[in-house]
A and B are shown apart, each in its own frame.
Chain A
Amino acid sequence: MTAAGPAVRLTGATRRFGDRTAVDAVDLTIHQGERVALLGPSGAGKSTLLALLNASLRPTSGTVEVLGADLATLTGPALRVVQRRVGTIGQRLDLVDQVRVLHNVNAGRLGRWSTGRSLLALALPRPDPVVVSALEAVGLGWAVHERTERLSGGERQRVAIARLLVQDPELVLADEPVSSLDPSRASEVLGLLRAATPDGTLVVSLHQPELARRHCTRAIGLQQGRVVLDRPADELDDALLAELYALT
């Protein structure tokens, strides 16, 4: 782990799509070890903000510093070095349906593997202890060789978490990981996400205030790309949320 210092620092970070501003001049610092719940109505810019943090999108203006590196100035191998320390679970899970579960889990290690090693692992699938223990940790020890498309929605989600576990990132980004789950499952998944980065940082977008209060230390509310709420998670109350999600 690198020296202390913020895990994430945004200064004036702005991202536009055409004439639509998805993230609008956001100044934000997230310290290591913080668990941040990202709240806000649909279209508020939560997914865009998370995409800025793993450099799959670049800011139109402003800076995005992640784990001490300015993402806008990095390219190629230097960028990959930072990216492999950031683990993401996207809204669509980003699993490859046509391959065995094993390969989807190994995808978390591609950042550290050479191209040759990656291709070899794809051609000659051999479950090593890292993969097996990650799958066991999410309760899918039996599914190593299963085809991913055969799994249920909940199982697929846990495969994505196993992928995160083998990546062993310092910063975990999760985009609405529990939106399609029942409340007890949702809490279980958030627990697994916390376990994926025991002393790292977690940024998770959510719509459920009670889960934010239970699993997070800090709540950030977005509205039209701006930060309109930022306080400790246990201070979240219904009035604040009603205002955040208000259709005004």
Chain B
Amino acid sequence: MSLDTRPADRPASTRAATERPRVTARRVALRRLVGTGLVALVVGWSLVRSLSTDGALVNTGGLRLLGRLLAAVGDPATSPDFLRIVLDAALTTVVYAALGTAGALVIGVAGALVLSDATWRHPPGRVVGAIRLVLRGMLVGVRAIHELIWALLFVSVLGLDPLVAVLAIAVPFGAQTAKVFAEILDAAPRHPVSAMRASGARSAAALAYGLVPAAIPLLLSYAFYRFECAIRSAVVLGVVGVGGLGQEMVLSLQSRNWDEVWTLVAAVVVLSGVVDVWSSKVRGDLAVVSCSDWSGGSTGTPRGNRSSWARWSAVFAAVGLVAAWFASGVSWAGLVSARTRELTVRLVDDLLPPALPPGGWSVLGGATLDTLAMAVLAMVVAVGVTLVVGPLATRVRPVGTDEGAARLTRAPRLVGRVGARGVLLVLRSVPPTVWAALALLVLFPGVLPGAVALGLYTGGILGRLVAEAWESMDTRPRDALRAAGVRSGLAALVAVLPPSSHQLVTYTLYRFEICVRDTAIVGVVGAAGLGRLFAENLSVFRFSAVTTLLLASFAVSAASEVLGRRIRRAISA
């Protein structure tokens, strides 16, 4: 008689372990070779596709304009009237971002309560299971469509209402937040809640006492991270015409008031820099989690100590939200008016059934391939930016033994780091719409300008993510090698290169998935791909084609997400 049946499981697991194919050096080398070959193939194809246009690539006339723009950098517009406009626009952007984030949090909390297992007393039954499956599918669909596309759809129903900007941020961000919040809740220990329920507590009370306190640091931390992203989105949405810094930028670019462009760039960089610094301080106090964790899809660990900085920030955010609500003049009235209802019905009616855009499958297929090529080339640019700027932006922890040497090189390193971070900040704060407008001055519309614009923007984000990941990397192997007398350059090469290149690859793949989605932005301003086709068809109210394009974008981003996740898992295994 055995006391326990557990030991019986053991042979099975040992068998599984031995059956796993052994990783040999040759296998690793082969895998790398095949991987590198595939990447080279895909990049080569994208390059060929982007370069094979009928006409010229470079617009020599635009070069002069770009020269004038660059010449104006020393002389930004500073007239009081214009500064007032900039300040107004900046406020509008902040208000949109704040209200959009708040909306996303409401959607996120509601969605997470349904999606998380931790909030249910019993394992959900068939009905709840079905509801959750449908909800999950809807959220994936909502997330796959870019904020800008949402904004365009909302504009066609609501007109140029501030509500458009708020909803365009709240809806897709809310879908993402619901997913992350559900993961956070599920990662928290569940037994206190079950214990409270077992002593007769009601569900809401048990969750408030048992689950929320454990999850709140991570939930708040994520909320602040979302606000950072929302600021950038609110700027991008300006191109639709709902106001804010993004709209002013587009206007100044169109009227070629280069001095104004620089003032606005400075405003955007300062705003986004301040929010980034504030938010990362709060997040650092609340939980051990970095941007790269949030975007890489892992939840961090809450910090034990209470931070008054974080608490005051939360209070400030709450007060700010109320102020933003009143300042914005956003009202729900537009949402429920008879006109909106009528237009919504008509829009839905127009959207269905889907039909091919003019030109048929070949145009649709061409645009899809353009979108992919653009995303690939954008990532090439972004990785280039990261490789050049990233190492400079990374704080290298000095080795304990040679303090003196570290002090000697400290000042120039600091200057380099601040400069590099500034470059990354500028790259990611200036919206891709503006990068695209600049690229379109010099390059004729097509895949290439879109890829350059998106690549510069993504480079700013990827560079920050990777630098952050590099900073938190374990340096003990390097220090151990140095202590063993290995020369410092060699030690760094051997101990630091493999893990840091691994991180670069992981985040590049992850950002690629987002980049595919982001091609919509540069498409809308005229580069190429599905986004451009979308904007063209929407502007002539060909809604049945719009539906097809939405479906195609969804398919492309879903496919790239699945593929990306596969590859990331294969690499980390």
A residues near B (Cβ < 8 Å) are: 20, 41-44, 51, 54-56, 80-88, 90, 92, 94-99, 103, 106-108, 110-113, 115, 118-119, 122, 149, 167, 169, 224, 247-248
Contact = CB atoms under 8 A, between A and B. Distances in A.
A223 B309 CA distance: 55
Given A42-B4, A118-B209, A149-B304, A110 B195 contact: no
A75 to B, nearest CB: 10
A115 B191 CA distance: 20
B202 interface: yes
Contacts of B198: 51, 54-56, 83, 86, 88
A94 B192 contact: yes
Contact of B213 (A42, A43, A94, A96): A96
A98 B3 contact: no
Nearest to A58: B122
Given A42-B3, A96-B209, A98-B213, A167 B199 contact: yes
A111 B201 contact: yes
Contact of B202 (A42, A90, A115, A149): A115
B304 to A, nearest CB: 6
Given A94-B192, A115-B202, A119-B208, 11 more contacts: A20-B5, A81-B200, A82-B200, A83-B198, A84-B199, A96-B209, A107-B209, A110-B205, A113-B205, A119-B204, A149-B304
A169 B199 CA distance: 9
A106 B208 CA distance: 12
A101 to B, nearest CB: 13
A83 B213 contact: no
Given A94-B191, A224-B3, A108 B199 contact: yes
A36 B304 CA distance: 39
B199 A96 contact: no
Given A111-B199, A115-B204, A247 B191 contact: no
12 contacts: A42-B4, A80-B201, A86-B199, A88-B198, A96-B209, A96-B214, A98-B214, A111-B199, A115-B204, A119-B208, A149-B304, A224-B3
A43 B4 contact: yes
A87 B201 CA distance: 12
B330 to A, nearest CB: 28
A139 B65 CA distance: 79
A122 B208 contact: yes
Given A92-B191, A119-B208, A80 B202 contact: yes
B302 A118 contact: no
A94 B209 contact: no
Interface in B196-220: 196-202, 204-206, 208-210, 213-214, 216
5 closest A-B pairs (Cβ-Cβ)?
A111-B200, A84-B200, A110-B201, A94-B195, A118-B205
Interface in B139-155: none
Contacts of B537: none
A248 B210 CA distance: 41
Given A94-B191, A94-B195, A149-B304, A119 B205 contact: yes
Given A118-B202, A247-B3, A107 B210 contact: yes
B194 interface: yes
Nearest to A95: B192
Nearest to B302: A98
B407 interface: no
A107 B4 contact: no
A24 B321 CA distance: 58
Contacts, number: 100
Contacts of A85: 200
B16 interface: no
A99 B213 contact: yes
Q: Which among B6, B196, B204, B304 has the greatest number of chain A C-beta atoms within 10 A? A: B196
B29 interface: no
Nearest to A51: B198
Contacts of A54: 198-199
A151 to B, nearest CB: 13
A83 B200 contact: yes
B1 interface: yes
Contact of B199 (A92, A103, A110): A110
B124 to A, nearest CB: 15
A100 to B, nearest CB: 10
Contacts of A56: 194-195, 197-198
A41 B4 CA distance: 9
Contacts of A20: 5
Nearest to B194: A56
Task: Give the one of A20, A42, A95, A110 with max B CB within 10 A.
Answer: A110
B209 A122 contact: yes
A20 B5 CA distance: 8
A55 B199 CA distance: 9
A43 B213 CA distance: 32
A85 B198 CA distance: 10
Task: Specify which of B4, B198, B200, B214 lies most central, judged by the most chain A CB atoms within 10 Å of its CB.
Answer: B200
Contacts of A122: 208-209
Contacts of A55: 198
A57 B176 CA distance: 34
A248 B205 contact: no
Nearest to A21: B5
A7 to B, nearest CB: 16
B302 A90 contact: no
B200 A80 contact: yes
Contacts of A83: 197-200
Scoring A44, A84, A98 by chain B CB atoms within 10 A of each residue's CB, the highest score goes to A98
A118 B201 CA distance: 9
Contact of B206 (A82, A110, A167): A110
Interface in B1-33: 1, 3-6
Contacts of A107: 192, 196, 199, 201, 209-210
B192 A110 contact: no
B192 A96 contact: yes
B209 A110 contact: yes
Contacts of A248: 1
Interface in B213-272: 213-214, 216
Contacts of A90: 191, 195
Nearest to B304: A149
Contacts of A247: 3
Contacts of A115: 202, 204-205
Contacts of B6: 43
A224 B5 CA distance: 10
> Which of A81, A85, A96, A99 has the most chain B CB within a 10 Å cutoff?
A96
A201 to B, nearest CB: 16
Given A96-B209, A98-B302, A110 B202 contact: yes
A221 B196 CA distance: 28
Contacts of A86: 198-200
Contacts of A87: 199
Contacts of B191: 90, 92, 94
A103 B209 CA distance: 7
Nearest to A169: B199
A88 B199 contact: yes
Contacts of B213: 96, 98-99, 103
Contacts of A108: 199
Considering residues B191, B199, B202, which has the most beta carbons from chain A within 10 angstroms of its beta carbon? Answer: B199
